[in-house]
Structure 1
Amino acid sequence: MNNAIKAMVGGLAGACALTLLHETARRLMPDAPRMDVLGMRSITKIMKKAGEEPPQNKEELHNWALAGDMLSNSLFYSLAGTGKDAWWRGAILGAAAGAGAVFLPGPLGLGEEPSNKTHKTQAMTIGYYLLGGMVAAAVGHALSSDED
């Protein structure tokens, strides 16, 4: 398996960990980040600007948002790559994604509450994305450790 595929596997693992954590936490904690809500708002906004009608069924729109999150986060986290340097790249990517998830939704017109509801929500948002980056790094490193 070449390094690009290994990095993509790591990215997918990071995205799966992030999505699983978000989806579980939102069901259990009132202050949990609601990145699914930001995803649904993003899809709606983009589709309307493109002159298309977004899904009216909330469950279908939610599924689209989860699929979009999985794809985009997999690609993003795959940048952590492989080898021993995957650790610092995963940490930087995760922290940057978390900070972006806290600070960008408001200026992008998506609302601030889903990732900024409380200080606890902000900390969880950054922590979850950091965890995703570290999972991507761990998998990328593990897949390449036999070659280092």
Structure 2
Amino acid sequence: MKKTLGNLVGGLVGAAVLNIVHQAVAQFSEDAPRVDKVGEEALSKGLDKVGVQPPQGEKLFLTTLAADVISNAAYYSLIGMARRKNIIGLGLASGLVAGVGALALTKPMGLDDKPITRTKKTKYMTVAWYAIGGLAAGLVIKSLRK
């Protein structure tokens, strides 16, 4: 149970770091990826498909943010499945895979990929932010294993 809790805490920290970096850099750089916009579109389309009126404005942003934190926390918590000595490397690798996945899967899922693929810099930042989140998760999970 203690290991599972540590994995969940690490995953939550990684997801929080990812979202804080995304939102902070978006305030200062027009090249910053806007994963939140992709998430809002995905949430709206998903709710429409099941006949539910999607939220609008700030409520849509907050609902998407909550869903993003929960899903990324669950994903990053899987890093804890590795042996302690491999956790940081797996955290970084998991983050890189998530970032590349965001770039590669958005359009095939029927979503507008421009918010994360506008420029080369935007693409690099997308992958880097997910990698930072994975690394943060790995560091926390490893430190909680001591």
| Bin of the TM-score, shorter chain as denominator length | over 0.9
Q: Which residue of 1 aligns with 2:106?
A: 105
1:7-36 residue CA offsets vs partner (Å, 9 max, x unmatched): 111000100100000011111110100010
Q: TM-score, normalised by structure 1?
A: 0.94
- Structure 1, residues 66-92: CA drift from partner, whole Å, max 9, x if none? 001100000000011172221122122
Question: Letter of the aligned partner of 2:46 in structure 1?
Answer: I
The match for 2:7 is: 7
| Identity %, equivalent residues | 38
CA distance in 2, matches of 1:60, 1:27: 20
CA displacement, residues 37-92 of structure 1 (integer Å, 9 cap, x when unaligned):
0110011010000011101x311100011001100000000011172221122122
Aligned residue for 1:28, secondary structure, equals coil
Runs of 4 or more off by more than 4 Å in structure 1? none
- The offset of 1:125, in angstroms, is 0.3
How far the C-alpha of 1:127 sits from its partner, in A, is: 0.4
User: Separation in 2 of the partners of 1:117 and 1:110?
Assistant: 14
| Structure 2: stretches of 5+ with no match in the other structure | none
Is residue 58 of structure 1 aligned with residue 57 of structure 2? yes
Unmatched tracts of structure 1, length 5 or more: none
Tell me what 1:75 maps to.
74
Give TM-score, length-normalised by structure 2. Answer: 0.95
Report if aligned partners of 1:94, 1:133 keep a CA contact under 8 Å in 2. Answer: yes
Q: 1:1-148 to 2 correspondence within 5 Å? A: 2-55=2-55, 57-81=56-80, 83-144=84-145, 146=146
Deviations 1:73-116 (A, max 9, x none): 00000011172221122122101100011111111111111110
Aligned-residue Cα RMSD (Å) equals 1.1
